Amino acid sequence: AIGTSVADFTRHDDEKWCEMNRGIYPPLAGALALERRLEVLSHNIGNVHTTGFKKDKPIFATILGQTSGPSVAGIDLFPLVDGLPPDRSQGVLVHTGQPLDIALEGEGFFVVKTPEGNQYFRGGSFYRNVDGILVTPMGDPVLGKKGPIKLPIGDIGIDADGGIRVNNIQVDQLRVEKVPQGEDIGKIGDLYWSTPSKGVPATGTKVQQGMLEKSNVNPALDMVELITVTREYEQMQRAIRAMDEMTGQAIQAARVQG
């Protein structure tokens, strides 16, 4: 019999049991898909207050006969997650009044220099480090047209096109880029993004000083969905356990008669 977790079922090694339980594979695949959706929803809700966070939205394959999903005793289950693309829709902008809080309105990204190479960033909560370099909360330099942006001491102003002024003298301009049409971009962790393609200037993106972009997670809607999916998952677990127990009883009866 399976344990309390649906995942236990995928480790079942009784071939006779698996053969008799072929009819359980569709509901099992559904339960595993619900389990993955719960993980994604929980992760999204956990980042509701993360500046610039973009929620994930799993895509589930519906075509049978593929082998991307789990298997039991060599029998392929229905494919599950076919992808986990982020929802890149705009988050709400909130006013902070802090000169180094910078939000982007549009599809562009800040470009930052990391140990793994240049990456994209939407967080926008920057600070000036001890060397006068503008950096992300993780300490990675923010790039401008001249390279890492160095800020002299003084009053900082940032224009809608990303131009940076200190005491009314322009010192650099933020690199704000987007991914070319049709090219892929993926998240690295919760805040950084990368693409194999070379970015292009995001000319339609507006830079907003003294603002931050909230995550695009809708906590009310996602909590309702989380509760709904949790109930569906629990119902699926109960149905699978009931089917498993019936099969176990049938196998036991056959052994006694034999």
Q: Over 70: is that where the pLDDT of 1 sits?
A: no
14-19: long-range contacts, CB 8 A cutoff, minimum separation 24:
14/73, 15/73, 16/251, 17/247, 17/248, 17/251, 18/72, 18/73, 18/75, 19/73
pLDDT (0 to 100) of residue 237: 78
User: By percentage, how much of the chain surpasses pLDDT 90?
Assistant: 52
Q: Where are the domains of the chain?
A: 6-85+229-257, 93-213
The dihedral formed by the CA atoms of 151, 127, 206 and 90, expressed in degrees to the nearest 10: 170
- H or E stretch including 87? none
Provide the pLDDT confidence category of residue 17 given band limits of 50, 70 and 90: very low
pTM: 0.76
| Spatial distance between the Cα atoms of 158 and 173, rounded to a whole number of angstroms | 9
Q: What is the mean pLDDT of residues 210-218?
A: 97
pLDDT (0 to 100) of residue 48: 95
Instruction: Tell me the average pLDDT of the chain.
Output: 82
Q: What is the mean pLDDT of residues 75-97?
A: 76
Tens-place pLDDT, residues 196-209: 878 899 999 999 99
Provide the pLDDT confidence category of residue 2 given band limits of 50, 70 and 90: very low
pLDDT (0 to 100) of residue 90: 96
Is the pLDDT higher at 4 or at 243? 243
Q: Over 50: is that where the pLDDT of 101 sits?
A: yes
Question: Which residue is it, tokens 């099969």?
Answer: 247
Coil, strand, or helix at residue 68? coil
Is the pLDDT higher at 118 or at 35? 118
Contact status, residue 216 vs residue 89, Cβ threshold 8 Å: yes
pLDDT (0 to 100) of residue 57: 84
